[in-house]
């Protein structure tokens, strides 16, 4: 396979064999908002089912509205579309639709964010949301063999007191939650605002993560690590602006869940060639590739892989590393992580690229 030992760099023609290898390899998706997987056709179908009228004439008009200036302009649309989700069946159908798309992209495990406050604030009870999502996850595992976990995200534009109320609602069924996260508008809402809430989440024995340095400064990564004690950073792509933060991420083996098409569509970077993913990898940071909100940002996991490969022409060893990072950073028992990595190794060997020969 051409490109096996190449440094990569994006100047030559992209090796389609490498793209095919990266798209077909088994991988975990660790940064996916289930509300962000609501495709226009499902949004309109659910609106009809629930007799809700959406503020767009049709699917094409909704698709046309997805021209974002920044994170907040996306969030306004994303929260508006979530209004069609009302019953357990709606959440189940949304979950199953995502898992089918993910499975088609070689995803064998997904750790999925959901925003309960978005739903409870408009009168949809927490158990309705949880029941539907969990049913979809069970069906996905049975039908597709994809395992999944659920990460409850607090909305950072709300107060910490409101976060405590959301946590209270979850306490009765804590065994159905695999971790806690922090999302929504980053600017002006530093991780430290939620220090006591995250202390409580950790005391419940769950891993915690937070969006940081997507739009906000690298210091938000430091806050998320020191004050929230997160196990992974979601996005973190602005870490390269602070060499000390970058070196710390590498030294401590903190995974970043990077979402390249999201960063493009939210104008974090003007074009893919300006993305900091190569710089993060070169610094030894444990980066992973994810789709964030695929229905809004132009694609699922393999669409992200294809866009990255077109820009950077990575060699197979980089794709191996990215997939391996996704398994190593998953909140799953070690035995399962080792099984996934063994399957990844076998996949590369079958394609004639032996991971044992890749430089460490």
Q: Which residues bind ligand ADE (CB under 6 A)?
A: 33, 36, 71, 183-184, 211, 214, 262, 292-293
184 contact choice in ligand ADE, Zn ion, none (CB below 5 to 8 Å, kind-dependent): ligand ADE
**Segment interacting with Zn ion, rule: CB under 5 A, options 57-65, 87-95, 292-300, 301-309:** 292-300
Tokens for 275? Answer: 């993305």
> Please, which residue, 292 or 313, has the CB nearer to ligand ADE?
292
> Please, which residue, 262 or 302, has the CB nearer to ligand ADE?
262
> Please, which residue, 4 or 262, has the CB nearer to ligand ADE?
262
> Please, which residue, 212 or 353, has the CB nearer to ligand ADE?
212
109 contact choice in Zn ion, ligand ADE, none (CB below 5 to 8 Å, kind-dependent): none
> Please, which residue, 18 or 277, has the CB nearer to ligand ADE?
277
**Segment interacting with Zn ion, rule: CB under 5 A, options 16-24, 46-54, 138-146, 284-292:** 284-292
> Please, which residue, 183 or 223, has the CB nearer to ligand ADE?
183
148 contact choice in Zn ion, ligand ADE, none (CB below 5 to 8 Å, kind-dependent): none
Q: How far is the CB of 178 from ligand ADE (least distance, A)?
A: 18
Q: How far is the CB of 336 from ligand ADE (least distance, A)?
A: 27
Q: How far is the CB of 166 from ligand ADE (least distance, A)?
A: 15
Q: How far is the CB of 262 from ligand ADE (least distance, A)?
A: 5
The residue of the chain with the least Cβ separation from Zn ion equals 292
**Which residue in the list 111, 214, 215, 223 is annotated as catalytic?**
214
Our answer to whether residue 214 is catalytic in this structure is yes
- Residue 296: which of 30, 32, 29, 39 has the closest Cα? 39
In a 13 Å sphere around the CA of 339, the CA atoms on its Cβ side amount to: 7
The residue of the chain with the least Cβ separation from ligand ADE equals 183
Task: Report if residue 292 touches Zn ion, rule: CB under 5 A.
Answer: yes
- Residue 210: which of 177, 227, 232, 178 has the closest Cα? 232
Q: How far is the CB of 161 from ligand ADE (least distance, A)?
A: 20
Contacts of 53 (CB under 8 A, 6+ apart): 47
Q: How far is the CB of 36 from ligand ADE (least distance, A)?
A: 5
27 contact choice in Zn ion, ligand ADE, none (CB below 5 to 8 Å, kind-dependent): none
Which stretches of the chain bind Zn ion, using CB under 5 A? 292
Tell me which residues are annotated as active site.
Answer: 214
């Amino acid at each position: 396979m051409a490109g096996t030992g190449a440094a990569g760099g994006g100047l030559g023609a992209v090796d389609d064999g490498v793209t095919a290898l990266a798209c077909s390899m088994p991988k975990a998706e660790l940064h996916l908002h289930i509300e962000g997987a609501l495709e226009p056709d499902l949004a309109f179908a659910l609106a009809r089912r629930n007799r809700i009228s959406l503020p767009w004439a049709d699917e094409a008009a909704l698709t046309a509205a997805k021209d974002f200036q920044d994170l907040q302009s996306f969030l306004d649309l994303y929260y508006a579309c979530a209004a069609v989700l009302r019953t357990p069946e709606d959440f189940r159908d949304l979950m199953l639709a995502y898992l089918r798309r993910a499975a088609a992209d070689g995803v064998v495990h997904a750790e999925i964010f959901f925003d309960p406050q978005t739903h409870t604030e408009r009168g949809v009870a927490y158990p309705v949301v949880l029941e539907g999502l969990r049913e979809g996850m069970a069906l996905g595992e049975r039908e597709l063999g994809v395992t999944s976990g659920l990460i409850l995200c607090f909305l950072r534009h709300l107060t910490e007191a409101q976060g405590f109320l959301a946590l209270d609602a979850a306490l009765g069924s804590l065994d159905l939650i695999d971790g806690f996260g922090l999302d929504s508008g980053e600017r002006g809402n530093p991780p430290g605002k939620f220090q006591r809430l995250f202390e409580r989440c950790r005391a419940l024995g769950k891993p915690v993560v937070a969006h940081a340095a997507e739009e906000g400064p690298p210091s938000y990564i430091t806050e998320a690590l020191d004050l929230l004690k997160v196990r992974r950073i979601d996005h973190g792509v602005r870490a390269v602006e602070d060499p000390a933060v970058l070196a710390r991420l590498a030294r401590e083996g903190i995974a970043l869940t990077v979402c390249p098409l999201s960063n493009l569509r939210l104008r974090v970077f003007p074009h893919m060639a300006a993305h900091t993913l190569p710089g993060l990898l070169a610094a030894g940071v444990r980066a992973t590739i994810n789709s964030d909100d695929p229905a809004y940002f132009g694609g699922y996991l393999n669409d992200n892989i294809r866009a990255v490969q077109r820009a950077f022409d990575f060699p197979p060893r980089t794709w191996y590393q990215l997939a391996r990072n996704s398994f190593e950073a998953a909140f799953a028992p070690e035995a399962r992580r080792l099984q996934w990595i063994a399957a990844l190794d076998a996949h590369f060997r079958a394609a004639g690229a032996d991971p044992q020969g890749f430089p460490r």
